[in-house]
Structure 1
């Protein structure tokens, strides 16, 4: 009897262990604009909460629901950055942590990008200092900032308006002199030109009165190949999808050095029950051998930009021409292997 109990215990443990090696999407019931950073053996994950910045810590993003979490920052009331805190990202740059996010005073027309700094190597420790607004000399509406280093130069890419009114959202790039300062003027890299970048409902008074959207840009590098993956069309539509810019020259500040994909590189799958996939980020497996996409999507049509958007992830591959193959959003019913360790 004793041997039988021991055997059953071992089977139970092995069963739990096997379960941890697989997962199903979504990773959480809700969470838009997911982003993660891998540092010292842990993934540090965040998503849009609207009124604060939270950070999750885990060795396995597939087990995000059991991750340790901490409240990083709550904005002071009555400031230009008190409300509508969107698309946060945490980056480890020059041995310091930086939290980038967009925020406003309750009026979307006033959205700008801001940054916090923490000198501790562990982002769960130390003090987060508000460094202020990040803006180009032409200080226009801006959201979805993403920073990256290419050839020893730090850059920021983001989604912004050309002027002071909401006619369309474009993708801009600028050099940075340090992690909290843009150096020089912004450069326009992409604006909505294809029909799949212009899907929306002009008659819907609840949503922004435009359908021309390029937003959520994310830097992606594979060897010598450099890309920006971005979200297009209104997030309130099922047609929200990902597009791609490929760097074909050497200087990313030259618009002619970028080539846009003619079709979406990642879009809804009615067959798999995944709608409006977008605002993604990328991460590598712990052993550095696999590339993964982290994104949000809805389970049903017509669920829009609200709290039904949930974070998901799946492995990506690479085409013979060097471009990323993001595949098709997988069904929540499909069991996936966790990232390699």
Structure 2
């Protein structure tokens, strides 16, 4: 009954259940630290992970419902040894006071920008995107200036925002509702005139159309851009995060195309990563990417649960594994690695 109630609330209120008011402790995880090898997870609690590399370090964030924290590490496979720095806490009340979801850190024009979703005192229907700015070279230091709400076109419910810099233009993609009534979540895109100012129109790139995108209810969320050669991809999460069928889908376009034209994008008919229900890997989704300093290796980070039925709470841990490219230039993520798999550490570690 508790699960049915959670699911019914999620259908009406989007992904409110991503972050329960009382976080559920993550199960103990044993990680083998073998020379040159590691095992997932790299962080035992870490919903909605994000990573960006800069000046020899990786900066990692994930959802913590009541703050924004940044991990700084020179070795992603040893992320759990890093100590997070809390760079922002929400006000007691107001439009960005609760349910701080899926933060992302981007360096644009030599400044750091931190994008996050938040709502007004726990009312999920008020979820919008917000922006912070920092001129420091190291985002764990310096002063974060509040740039306020990102004025996305149509001002509808919005979460999971991300940025693409391509051909001199800034684009913003996010997950949202078509109207103010909830229901299916779609992936939208618009232009930015600067890192904290959006420009219309709001264009829907993807809606849940396949059965594998409608488990629990219809969801396309967590869009992330990935550029390779002359192609740009949007890798997104599909199906309700409270199901074990959470998985990654893919949109693809040419880098020279009009990215605001839905017809420029091709959608994969099948998941490109997951779902996978075995060996401690359930509910695979909400990914990010990084490249090793030598440029030779590409890695995907994502969250997953260690057991079935653990849903959208803090059982989700951060995993990572290398990926390659197919002959057509699209990413080949392979199969989610089990918790017993020994993986070679990223180059340079």
The two structures share one fold, judged by TM-score above 0.5: yes
Q: CA deviation at 1:69?
A: 2.2
Q: CA deviation at 1:20?
A: 5.2
Q: CA deviation at 1:137?
A: 3.2
Whether the aligned pair in 1 keeps the contact of 2:245 and 2:276 (CA below 8 Å) is no
Bigger shift: residues 267-276 or 327-336: 267-276
Equivalent in the alignment of 2:147: 131
Gaps of 5+ in 2: 1-32
Cα deviation 1:103-126 (Å, max 9, x = unaligned) = 002110000000100011111221
Equivalent in the alignment of 2:207: 191
Whether the aligned pair in 1 keeps the contact of 2:58 and 2:72 (CA below 8 Å) is yes
Cα deviation 1:227-274 (Å, max 9, x = unaligned) = 000000000000000000011461111000001000000113234331
Note the 1:265-284 alignment, pairs <5 A: 265-284=272-291
Determine if the alignment matches structure 1 residue 219 to structure 2 residue 225. yes
Cα deviation 1:185-220 (Å, max 9, x = unaligned) = 1111000000000001xxxxxxxxxx0100000000
Q: CA deviation at 1:19?
A: 3.3
Cα deviation 1:256-300 (Å, max 9, x = unaligned) = 000100000011323433111000011111211111100000111
Cα deviation 1:37-66 (Å, max 9, x = unaligned) = 100000000100000000000001110111
Paired residue secondary structure (1:238):
coil
1: CA distance, partners of 2:334 / 2:37: 19
Equivalent in the alignment of 2:173: 157
Note the 1:32-181 alignment, pairs <5 A: 32-105=47-120, 106-181=122-197
Paired residue secondary structure (2:153):
coil
Which aligned runs of 4 or more in structure 1 are off by greater than 3 angstroms? none
Q: CA deviation at 1:25?
A: 0.2
Equivalent in the alignment of 2:11: none
Name which one, 1 or 2, has greater alpha-carbon Rg: 1
Bigger shift: residues 183-192 or 269-278: 269-278
Whether the aligned pair in 1 keeps the contact of 2:244 and 2:277 (CA below 8 Å) is no
